């Protein structure tokens, strides 16, 4: 086993989980914003690259700041962002989400608590799971950004009646699947495996420097066996694992990843033109492309490419360029009954994203 593979196993195992807790993370609640756009799975360097190219939604690359995220995977980010200590902030906030993890218990992700997921309407001033009704299974299986933008604009404009003063909108892009490469993905998004990684329950916390040569050899053999088992269950819809395995070319993956970011930023530009106030852009996590032997976005991993995410704030101005209605189901109580999607369909949508 090479060093990268071994270091990757350590970074995503119990030692990595322990170190991850020591990362000086910043909750979004500690920053000032009126509307916060979470761009799922966006690397900092990708955001700065698109900013340098002059996208309308972004300032120059020097205006793309960063923060350390509270998680390296979506469920972990939700678990820590919506923790009980933030209930007061959440009660004043509308959460519009395209990420189906909002409905999951995530018991398979052992670094999450039992206190947060699945989310409920009473957790927020307004809770709208847009993915339940707006998911599409066309060339790729995902939720496009436009329906999330429409909901965010309508709810922001009705904030006084709804009793909220902030909107948090969780877009699924630039996360895979990539619109420019539908052939890389298969049917419904593989949400079931997306985000599921070995939990390290049978691993011991060890110091490699204390190992004898025979012990190190045994550890490497164990890690290699576990890596093979992981390969057997890796999601077919995770392009980062395909990249690791040499099935996809690095330049092609990066170009498709960037196109997905431009896709969502085009819609964020529309939001900026229809919301007065401070509009923030950030991400729940990045994506690792081999740093420290890590690929994709396993939970509980302290790798900077996963945990150091963009932070951008722009001034929005409501020019009234669109007039979307309030989403069906959102009432003055701020609830959305969420009964349109059964458990089987939820699993299918998580599968399309690579989480199953």
pLDDT at site 232: 42
pLDDT at site 107: 84
Residue 112 half-sphere exposure, CB side, CA atoms within 13 Å? 29
pLDDT at site 194: 37
Residue 164 structural domain: 3-353
Number of structural domains (the chain) is 1
pLDDT at site 58: 98
Q: What is the pLDDT along the chain (356 residues), one digit of tens a residue?
A: 566 666 677 677 777 777 777 788 999 999 999 999 999 999 999 999 999 999 999 999 999 999 999 999 999 999 999 999 999 999 999 999 999 999 999 888 889 998 999 999 999 999 999 999 999 998 999 999 999 999 999 999 999 999 999 999 999 999 999 999 999 997 655 444 433 333 333 334 455 566 667 666 666 555 555 444 444 444 568 999 999 999 999 999 999 999 999 999 999 999 999 999 999 999 999 999 999 999 999 999 999 999 999 999 999 999 999 999 999 989 654 455 454 455 556 566 566 666 55
Residue 45, judged by CB atoms within 10 A of its CB (0-12, 13-18, 19+), counts as middle
> Residue 344: helix, strand or coil by DSSP?
helix
**For the whole model, what pTM was predicted?**
0.81
Q: What is the CATH number of the domain that holds 261?
A: 3.40.720
pLDDT at site 233: 42
**C-alpha to C-alpha distance for 3 and 244, rounded to whole angstroms:** 15
Locate all alpha helices (DSSP H) within the chain, ordered by sequence: 3-11, 14-20, 44-52, 74-81, 87-91, 131-134, 145-157, 159-162, 213-233, 239-244, 250-272, 304-307, 343-353
**How long is the chain?**
356
Torsion of CA 159, 175, 338, 89, to 10 degrees: -40
Handedness of CA 345, 350, 351, 353 (dihedral sign): positive
Q: Count CB atoms within 10 A of the CB of residue 212.
A: 8
> Residue 279: helix, strand or coil by DSSP?
strand
Residue 50 contacts residue 258 (beta carbons within 8 Å): yes
Residue 322, judged by CB atoms within 10 A of its CB (0-12, 13-18, 19+), counts as middle
């Amino acid at each position: 086993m090479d060093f990268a593979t071994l270091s990757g196993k350590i970074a995503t195992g119990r030692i990595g989980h322990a170190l991850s807790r020591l990362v000086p993370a910043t909750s979004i609640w500690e920053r000032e914003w009126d509307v916060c756009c979470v761009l799922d799975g966006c690397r900092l360097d990708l955001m700065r690259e698109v900013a340098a190219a002059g996208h309308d939604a972004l300032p120059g690359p020097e205006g793309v700041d960063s923060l350390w995220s509270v998680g390296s995977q979506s469920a972990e980010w939700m678990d820590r962002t919506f923790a009980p200590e933030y209930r007061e902030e959440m009660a004043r906030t509308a959460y519009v989400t395209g990420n189906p993890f909002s409905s999951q218990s995530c018991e398979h992700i052992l670094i999450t608590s039992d206190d947060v997921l699945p989310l409920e309407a009473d957790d927020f001033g307004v809770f709208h799971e847009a993915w339940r009704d707006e998911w599409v299974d066309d060339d790729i299986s995902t939720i496009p950004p436009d329906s999330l933008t429409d909901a965010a604009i309508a709810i922001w404009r009705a904030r006084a009646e709804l009793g909220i003063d902030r909107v948090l909108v969780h877009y699924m892009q630039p996360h895979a699947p990539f619109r420019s490469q539908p052939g890389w993905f298969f049917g419904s998004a593989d949400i079931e495996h997306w985000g599921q990684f070995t939990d390290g329950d049978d691993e011991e916390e060890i110091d490699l420097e204390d190992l004898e040569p025979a012990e190190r050899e045994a550890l490497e053999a164990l890690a290699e066996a576990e890596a093979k088992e992981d390969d057997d269950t890796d999601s077919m819809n995770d392009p980062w694992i395909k990249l690791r395995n040499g099935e996809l070319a690095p330049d092609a993956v990066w170009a498709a990843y960037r196109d997905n970011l431009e896709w969502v930023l085009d819609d964020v530009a529309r939001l900026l033109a229809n919301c007065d106030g401070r509009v923030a852009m950030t991400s729940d996590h990045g994506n690792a492309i081999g740093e420290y032997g890590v690929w994709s976005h396993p939970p509980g991993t302290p790798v900077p490419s996963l945990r150091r995410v963009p932070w951008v704030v722009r001034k929005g101005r409501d020019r009234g360029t669109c007039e979307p209605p309030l989403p069906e189901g959102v009432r003055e109580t701020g609830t959305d009954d969420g009964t349109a999607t059964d458990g089987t369909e939820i699993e299918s949508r998580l599968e399309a994203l690579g989480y199953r």
